[in-house]
Each structure stands twice: as structure tokens, then as C-alpha cells.
Structure 1
Amino acid sequence: MVLRRRFTQSGTTDQRLLDSSGPTDWVHTDPWRVMRIQSEFVEGFGLLAEIGPAITVFGSARTPRDHAEYELSRRLGYELAQAGYAVITGGGPGVMEGANRGCVEGGGTSVGLGIELPFEQGLNSYVDIGLDFRYFFVRKTMFVKYAQGFVFMPGGFGTLDELFEALVLVQTGKVTRFPVVLVGTDYWAGLVDWLKVRMVEAGKISPHDMDLIEVTDDVERVVEIMKDADEQRRRQEIEAMDALADDIRAGQARAAHPYP
């Protein structure tokens, strides 16, 4: 960085660092925000790196505990834990709490990734490993990076935001072999029909893009989809390793006999 004429600063960098006097506006500047953003990524990566296979569950924070959707998310969390998955949610109440609760009851690792909001209370009491983020985009990265699939229970704008972001990531190949499951056929029917009738017929998305979504009411089917995706992933990894080994052996053979 070069600063000349009216842009020059008085004193040295060390002096400004050690001088505790003066205004505190600097803690709200963009360069300082970059450090906060970096620290959130570092904390998230460090905390979640060893949670093992995980599924992220989204859904409404407004669902009461006596609602059927709460009980369904609780069953979902339990069955995912029994299948060996950690359960990641936004850490809030409602459907998120139900999934975290079921995961704990199933003996799994219950993860909550909260967000700083002016109107919501912190992480629910069923979160074993939790972080509260300042920045939505950091939190979104954690949802995707440490999950093998997404499950969407009935929810509002936040759930829709995550749904369409997940679909874009899969559609564009940013994430691969990543199942997206909507739970609640009645709730999601209108949206799915609109995608087919409006978006597909208007040519805004391809007909095969609808294959990225599966809709079900069956918790066992959700677990089956996630396990099938894991098995396919493992087969592809083995095939890739076998192909690499074949290439290495072929290269070694050519090196040993460079002339026909």
C-alpha cells in the first residue's frame, strides 16, 4: 500500500497499534470486519471438522412443540442419529429444536449453527456443539461444507433461502452427490407444481433439474436417500482411486520400457 500527499498518515504503524487513546470507530471498519469474518471461518472449521457424516435439517422456528411437524422433525433427528449421522440445524426453536432433540435421544451428535438476530433467542437446549455467527454467508458455508445432504421441513423465508441456495449449488456442480429432500408433501406441493408449470415450461430451468428434489412424508425414506447417496459416493471414490492406480501403473510401465 502506498499513500502520498493528503493520504499520508502521521506516526508509525507500531505507534498506532500501541496507542490506546483516540476514537474507537476502527473496530467497525471494513478491514476489521474482514478479521471478524476470518475468525468465524476459523472457529467454524475448527469446531466442525471432526463431527463425522452429517445431515443438515432446516425448518420453521415458529413450529410449536405440540405440533405434528415438531414430532416429525424429532423422529427425523432420531432416525438420522441411529443411522450414524450427526444432525446440523440452525440451532433455534421449533423444527430445529425437534431435530436436535431427536438426535440427542438417538445418541447422535447434535449441532446448532445460530445467527445473530434482533428478535430470536440463542441456541436451543438440545444442541451439543454450537456456534452463533454474525454473518449469514459464513453460517451458510458451514451448513454445506459439513453435511452430506439437506432435509427441508416446512418453514418460512429462511428455509426457502437455504433450499434454493442448495439447489443452485447442486445444479451448478459446486457440490456433488448432494441429496435435497423436502419433507411434507402437502406443504411443498404448491411450490413444486409452480416449479414444474412455470419455470420448466418457460425454459428457466431444465426438466431434469426437478430430479434434484425428492418430496416425501416418510422419515425412513429420508434416511434411505442419504444412505444411498453415501454408498454412491463411496463407489465413485473407489472407482476414481482404481483409475488413478491404473494410470500410475501405465506410467510406470512406459517409463520402464520407453521404446517399443
Structure 2
Amino acid sequence: MSLVTVGAELLSAKERLQNFKNNVTIFGSARIQESDPIYTDAYRLGKELSNAGYNVFTGGGPGIMSASNKGSYEGKSKSIGLNIELPNEQSSNPYLDENITFNYFFSRKVMLVKYSSACIYFPGGYGTADELMEVLTLMQTRKMNKVPIILYDSKFWSSLLSWIEQTVDKSYVNREHFELIKVVDSIEEIMTIVESEVCL
């Protein structure tokens, strides 16, 4: 990894993203198919956020990202993808008003949250878990402004939340930092949190 290249990626992305305001970032699996009900939920959320005045940021790929971007693209606000070059499964979805491609996960992750006013996590794998833990760590250490962290689908996230609860019990994590996480099971709950905590 070249520090010069990473710096150039960050600067280029900053120039393209800094004028977007009221942004919400949606994370989730690239492998979820259109036939999955959760794909429909992500599409609906993207559209509702967009029509409410929020731009939607995603990783720009397929699955949850594509669903969220499609909904946002069909709404009133902007649909923005921050993609990354990977050997498998990651090509840009066609529902983007702005598409930025990164070489490095580091710079991409920075930009997915730097201009975001809320972070919403749909079910996903290693990448989604990595992005969640990154944001929690940044907030815990006050390296990032506090924004709503919303996990969608309580059943899916229950095992991870149980593990975090154990870390709280052992004082590895402060309860106040565990309580940064909001767990919901409906799009209406997400919209209520965003609209009450993210001012337009």
C-alpha cells in the first residue's frame, strides 16, 4: 500500500463528496439477491431516505448496496457509490448519481463515514462486520463525531450483540459505547431515528 496513492485517493474523494450534505450510509452484504425480502427492505429504505431529503451512500456494489442505491436513485436526493476494485463480486451497480472507485479499503472506509450523518447496517459478512467495528471504535475513541448506528434485523445481529454484551460484562467495553447501537426490525423505526437525530 502506497501512502502517496492513499493520500491521492482521499483528496480526490474529498473534492467530489464534500459538497454533499445530509448523507446516510447503508452497509450490507453484496451477495443478497433481488428475490430476498431484505433486498426489498433496502430498496424501500433507500427510496424513503431519498424522498425525505437524505443522500444515500453505499459501497456501490451489488446486493444491499444496489437495492439501497436503486431506491435512492428513484427518489428525490442523490445516490452515491464508493466502490472498490476486487477480483470477485464487486462491480458498480447502475443506480448511481456519483460513482467513486477506490483501490484501498482504508481510504474507502474513511469516505463512507466522513460525510455521513447516520450509519445503517443490514445483514452482511466480514466486510459489513469490519465496517461496523471500525465505526464503533472511532466513536469509542472520539476520532469520529457521534452519529446514529442502526442495525437492521435483530435476529441476525443477536449473536454479535451477545458477544459485545460479554465484553461489557468483563469491562472490555464501556456500556455507554455499547448503547451507541440501536437495533430495529422495521424501516419505519429507521426513518424515525434518522429524522429525529439527523437534522436537515
Q: TM-score, normalised by structure 1?
A: 0.74
Measure, in 2, the Cα distance between the counterparts of 1:195 and 1:143.
24
Q: Which runs of 4+ in 1 moved over 3 A?
A: none
Matched, 1:229 2:197: yes
Which residue is 2:48 aligned to?
A: 79
Once the two structures are TM-superposed, the CA of residue 121 in structure 1 deviates from its matched residue by 3.7
3-state SS of 1:101 partner:
helix
Please tell me whether residue 217 in structure 1 is matched to residue 185 in structure 2: yes
Bigger fraction of residues in strand: 2
* C-alpha contact 2:150 2:190 (8 A) present in aligned 1: yes
1:174-185 correspondence to structure 2 within 5 Å: 174-185=143-154
How far off its partner does 1:173 sit? 1.4
Q: Retained in 1: the 8 A contact 2:66–2:95? A: yes
Per the TM alignment, residue 199 of structure 1 is displaced from its structure 2 partner at its CA by 0.9
> Is 112-121 or 67-76 further displaced after alignment?
112-121
- Structure ID, larger Rg: 1
Q: What secondary structure is seen at the aligned counterpart in 2 of 1:148?
A: strand
Q: Aligned pair 1:63/2:32, yes or no?
A: yes
Aligned to 2:134: 165
Q: What is aligned with 2:121? A: 152
**Structure 2, gaps ≥5 residues long:** none
1:112 and 2:81 matched: yes
Tell me if the contact between 1:83 and 1:223 (Cα under 8 Å) persists in the aligned partners.
no
Does the aligned pair in 1 maintain the 2:84–2:105 contact within 8 Å?
yes
Q: Following the alignment from structure 1 to structure 2, what is the Cα–Cα distance between the partners of residues 177 and 34?
A: 28
Amino acid at match of 1:212: L
* Deviation by residue 1:28-82 (Cα, 9 ceiling, x = unmatched): xx7xx33322221121011111122100000000000110110010011011111
1:63–1:46 Cα change, 3 Å? same
Question: What is the letter of the counterpart of residue 217 of structure 1?
Answer: D
Q: How many residue pairs get matched?
A: 200
Alignment of 1:167-206 (within 5 A): 167-196=136-165, 198-206=166-174
Give the alignment's TM-score, normalised by structure 2: 0.95
Q: State the partner residue of 1:139.
A: 108
What root-mean-square deviation, in Å, do the aligned CA atoms of Structure 1 and Structure 2 show?
1.5
Which structure exhibits the higher relative contact order, with contacts defined as CA atoms closer than 8 Å and separated by 6 or more residues?
A: 2
How many angstroms apart in 1 are the aligned matches of 2:88 and 2:10? 24
**Distance across 1 between alignment mates of 2:196 and 2:142:** 19
Q: Distance in 2 between matches of 1:142 and 1:47?
A: 11
Alpha-carbon contact 2:84-2:90 (below 8 Å) kept: no
Stretch of structure 1 that moved more, 153-162 or 201-210:
201-210
Displacement of 1:214: 0.4
Percent of matched pairs sharing the same residue: 38
State how far apart, in whole Å, the 2-side matches of 1:168 and 1:177 are: 11
Show CA shifts across 1:5-34 (max 9, x none): xxxxxxxxxxxxxxxxxxxxxxxxx7xx33
Task: Determine if the alignment matches structure 1 residue 207 to structure 2 residue 178.
Answer: no
